[in-house]
Structure formats: structure tokens, C-alpha cells
Amino acid sequence: MAIDASSSRQGLQRLVRLRLRLTIWYVATFGLIILLLGAVLFAVISYQLSQQLDDSLKSATLELVRAARIREMEAAGARGRVIDAVDELNIPDRILYLLNIDGTPIKPARVDTWIRQAAKDAGRVGQITVQRDRPEDRTLRLHALRFKLASGSQLVAVAVADRVELEDKYADLITAFVLIAFAALFLVAAGGFFLVRKSTAPIERSIEYMRRFMADAAHELRTPITILRTRAEVALQQPREAANYVSALRAVEAEARRLGGIVDSLLVLARADAGEQQIDTARIFLDDIAVDAAGAAQIVARQKNVEVTVDQFEEAPIQGDPTLVRQLIMIVLDNAVKFTDAGGQVHVRVSMREGVPTFSVEDTGIGIKQEELSRVLQRFFRGETARSRTDGAGLGLSIASWIAREHGADISLSSEPGEGTNVVVTFPRVATAV
């Protein structure tokens, strides 16, 4: 048992490490996706923000052109002092310049050399957009547009913006994205660990079930093997009469038969767990199979002086495997006969309860304790009273339960110690044959 506990702990520790590795892979994969997505989004948004800045500079130069033309009209028709539309034009976060096409400044009077050069270039090509880095870690963006006044004079309108506003937007964007990414990674880590737990839960149950199954199987097989070895050793210890050898061999044969039955049951359950047990379903009649099984059970029942009777017999069509359904019924009948004393009765009924195919077996046997009812379908479980009355391994009802599940049927048990047991198996309804 200590070895089993240690092996179980090691298996669970490996499972915990597997869960941790899978969660890390989830987070790493999602983190990489977020990183790539963030890079693409940043590139796209950066391009769009740059385009917006250039569009705003172009709009500013057009406003300056409009103000210069208003200034020309007012200067031509005015008498006395007039308001200069260029001086009055104010666009937030934009610096405006008005120059001649040769780079001579008009408004304001002093202009940086690089701006004058940009005005000359715009005077030649029509318009230009340039960028310049400043010594104080600033980057300026400029757009220059050549235009003509009504008098025929050609001027250049220039709008300049500081790219620091883009950097502020980038910083806000990056901060927001990082916060969202961390929140998303946290949620992915939590959700990934939850999903990993859910996905590995069947593995954990399988490990625990396999541990218990192997321990129970080893326990059940150890007894008949020990008996076989002991009987053989006793028979061979000293010369005996032929009758004694025959008796010993018969005992060995009986124990070998019991061992074979346990192994066969284990193989059935192992194939069922692996999904390798073939099930051929067809439209069959539960009443025909039940009557046939009851007839077979009567042969064994007569040897115990137990009466098996079919009290109710209705046509009950079901969809299922006839061999497996018969095996289920035989297991229930065999248990009923096995745990009923001589002179007792086993009643078999097949009915359509509200259109539901139902098979039931009621006996007058020893019954089952209430605290054991919920466990009788478990593998290798045998109640205290049952252990003294049968040499079975406690696998029959487990096989019956598996057959019922495969057919969508339900098994319910009710019992009172000393008064008998009632087993009811209900199958799903089937469509009426045309």
C-alpha cells in the first residue's frame, strides 16, 4: 500500500508539472500572438497618425493661403489701416510662415534657413513635405505649398508641427496596449490553467482509477492463485491415493474456473474502458430476451430450490446489442438467484411503463444494506453478507452497469436487508416500426 501511495503521489506530481508546462505554453503562445499583433497594430496606427499629422499640415497651409488672399483683397480696396488676415490666423500647435518662392520671408520677418530652403523647393515643385531633427531631441514636420495671388504673384505657405504630439499619442497607445496585454496574459494564464485542469481531469481520474483497479485486481487474483498453489503443494508433499489426487485436482479445477471468470470479466471491462468492445445495435425485443434468460436462470435456480417466475410479459422493443442485453439480464438474474435462500422466489417482469421499456427482477433474498446500495455497481465491491455467500469477484454488476450505459439505460436498486432486492432497468424509447 505504501508503494501504491508513493506511485500515486509521483503520478499526481507529474500531472501537476504537465499542467504547469501546458499553462506556460498557452501563455507563451498567446504572448507571442499579442506581440506580433501589437507590432502590426503599432505600425498601422503609427502610419495613420503620421497621415493625420500630414493632413492637418496641408489643411493649415490651405488656411494660410486663404488668409493671404483675403489680405491681398483687403489691402487693395482699403483706405487706412486694416486688420492683416495672416497675422490674425491662429491654428493651435501649428507654426505658419508666408514666404516668396525664392525663400524670402514675408510673415514673420525672420525664418530658419531650413524653412527658407523648403520654401524654395516648394516654389520649384509646387509642394513639399519634409522632416527635420532638432538638437533638443525634437522632430519638426513641415509642409510647404506654392500658390498664386490674384495679382499673379507666387508665394509659398508653410505649416510646421512638432512631432512630439505623435510621441505623446504613441506613449498613450503603448501604455494602454501594455496594460491590456498584461491583463489578457493574466486572464489567459488563469483560463489556460482552468482549461488544462479540465482537459487533464480525465487523465487524473484515469490514473487514480488505474491505480485502484490494479490494486483491486491484484488483490482479487492473489487469493485464487494462492489457493491453487497451496492445493498443489499440499497434494505433492507426500504420496497419496488416487482418490485424494482426484479430489485435489477437482478443487484446483474449480479454483481455476473461478480465476478464469475473474480474468474474463477484467478483459470485458478493460475492452470497455478502451472503447474496443464492439456493439452491434439492432431493433430487438426486451421481452423475448428476458424470457429466454429467465428460462436459463431456472436451471440454476432449481438446484437451490429457488423459483423463477415471469409475472409480467409485454412486448417491449428496444435498440441494442442482443448478446450484451442478454448478458445484462443474466447478471441480474444470477445475482438474484445467488442471494436468495432455498424456498425463495425471483419474479421477472417486462413492461412498457408509460411507453418506456422496463425490465425488473425482484427477489426474496438477503437484501442489501442501505449504506451499501450506492456502491454495489462499483468494481470489486461485495457487501459483508455477499462475501460469505459467493466466491465472485464483484465484477458482474459493474459489467451490467457498463452495458446499461452503452444502451442509454438506467439501473436502479431498492432493497431492505432480509426482505429482498428489486432491480429495475429502463431502456430508452424507440420509434414505432412502420
Q: Which residues pair with 362 in a beta bridge?
A: 347, 422
Residue 282: band (very low, low, confident or very high) from pLDDT cuts 50, 70, 90: confident
Q: What average pLDDT does the segment 195-205 reach? A: 72
Taking 90 as the threshold, does the pLDDT of residue 127 lie above it? yes
Q: What average pLDDT does the segment 377-400 reach? A: 63
Average pLDDT, the chain: 79
Among the listed ranges 43-57, 98-112, 210-224, 376-390, which one has the minimum average pLDDT value? 376-390
What integer pLDDT is reported at residue 408 of this predicted model? 86
Residue 208: band (very low, low, confident or very high) from pLDDT cuts 50, 70, 90: low
Taking 70 as the threshold, does the pLDDT of residue 348 lie above it? yes
CA–CA distances in Å: residue 110 to residues 61, 104, 107, 153, 394 = 18, 9, 8, 21, 104
For 282-426, CATH number? 3.30.565.10
Which range, 23-37, 105-119, 156-170, 272-286, is most confident? 105-119
Taking 60 as the threshold, does the pLDDT of residue 276 lie above it? no
What integer pLDDT is reported at residue 209 of this predicted model? 64
Taking 50 as the threshold, does the pLDDT of residue 331 lie above it? yes
Taking 60 as the threshold, does the pLDDT of residue 64 lie above it? yes
Among the listed ranges 51-60, 165-174, 247-256, 311-320, which one has the minimum average pLDDT value? 165-174
154 φ/ψ angles, rounded to the nearest 5 degrees: -110, 130
Distance CA 279, CA 272 (A): 10
Among the listed ranges 262-271, 357-366, 380-389, which one has the minimum average pLDDT value? 380-389
What integer pLDDT is reported at residue 275 of this predicted model? 59
Residue 252: band (very low, low, confident or very high) from pLDDT cuts 50, 70, 90: confident
**CATH 3.30.450 residue ranges in the chain?**
2-170
Taking 90 as the threshold, does the pLDDT of residue 62 lie above it? yes
**CA neighbor of 326 nearest in space, from 247, 426, 400:** 400
Residue 267: band (very low, low, confident or very high) from pLDDT cuts 50, 70, 90: low
What integer pLDDT is reported at residue 2 of this predicted model? 42
Q: In percent, how much of the chain has pLDDT > 70?
A: 78
Q: Is the dihedral of CA 203, 204, 207, 208 positive or negative?
A: negative
Condensed to tens digits (0 to 9), the pLDDT of residues 161-182 reads: 887 766 677 777 778 878 888 8
Taking 90 as the threshold, does the pLDDT of residue 155 lie above it? yes
What integer pLDDT is reported at residue 1 of this predicted model? 41
Class of domain 2-170: alpha beta
Q: What average pLDDT does the segment 141-160 reach? A: 91
339 φ/ψ angles, rounded to the nearest 5 degrees: -105, 20
Distance CA 252, CA 264 (A): 18
**CA neighbor of 161 nearest in space, from 96, 238, 246, 233:** 96
Residue 59: band (very low, low, confident or very high) from pLDDT cuts 50, 70, 90: very high
Q: Is the dihedral of CA 313, 319, 325, 326 positive or negative?
A: positive
Q: Between 306 and 242, where is the model more confident?
A: 306
Q: What average pLDDT does the segment 211-229 reach? A: 66
Among the listed ranges 40-54, 193-207, 320-334, 419-433, which one has the minimum average pLDDT value? 193-207
What integer pLDDT is reported at residue 162 of this predicted model? 82
Taking 80 as the threshold, does the pLDDT of residue 235 lie above it? no
Asked if 23 and 196 count as a contact pair (C-beta separation under 8 A), the reply is yes
Among the listed ranges 8-17, 45-54, 151-160, which one has the minimum average pLDDT value? 8-17
Q: Is 185 in a helix, a strand, or coil? A: helix
What integer pLDDT is reported at residue 6 of this predicted model? 56
Distance CA 169, CA 394 (A): 73
Condensed to tens digits (0 to 9), the pLDDT of residues 314-323 reads: 888 888 888 8
Taking 60 as the threshold, does the pLDDT of residue 79 lie above it? no
**CATH 3.30.565.10 residue ranges in the chain?**
282-426
